[in-house]
Amino acid sequence: MGKRVLLVEDEPNIIEAIRFILSRDGWRVDTHSDGATALEAVARARPDVMVLDVMLPGKSGFDILRELRADEATRSLPVLMLTAKGQGKDRELALQFGANRFMTKPFSNDEVLDCLRELAGE
């Protein structure tokens, strides 16, 4: 069985694109689109790696990341943060709060796949 990824993203076209490329590569993909309940989704899915959007309804990706890093159970979960902005400040915040990698939209399919393989230790 492949690695599990939890994709926390609220844009359907991005969800489908990432689900397609990862499923084709043998990953098990769980998706969640509400920031307010993202931590519950992490506990439920128990992913090997997480893709986390910055702009989410209910709670920002930065707040979610801060909470993940504050919890012993999820402190070492590899996280790839996605943002549409691509501003230097977003990158700084993502790294400050403990993101393992940071990627701006639009991104290439190969870029996402290579990054997640690396984060999952493949």
The boundaries of the domain holding residue 4 are 1-50
Measured CA to CA, the distance from residue 37 to residue 58 in angstroms comes to 8
Contact between 6 and 34 (Cβ < 8 Å): no
Asked whether residue 60 is domain-assigned, the answer is no
Note whether residue 122 is domain-resident: no
pLDDT at residue 90, as a whole number: 86
pTM of the predicted structure, to 2 decimals? 0.95
Per the prediction, the chain carries an average pLDDT of: 94
pLDDT in tens, 18-63: 999 999 999 999 999 999 999 999 999 999 999 999 999 999 999 9
CATH number of residue 20's parent domain: 3.40.50.2300
- Distance from C-alpha of 95 to C-alpha of 23, rounded to nearest angstrom: 28
Q: How confident is the model at residue 87 (pLDDT cuts 50, 70, 90)?
A: confident
What pLDDT band is residue 86 in, cutting at 50, 70 and 90?
low
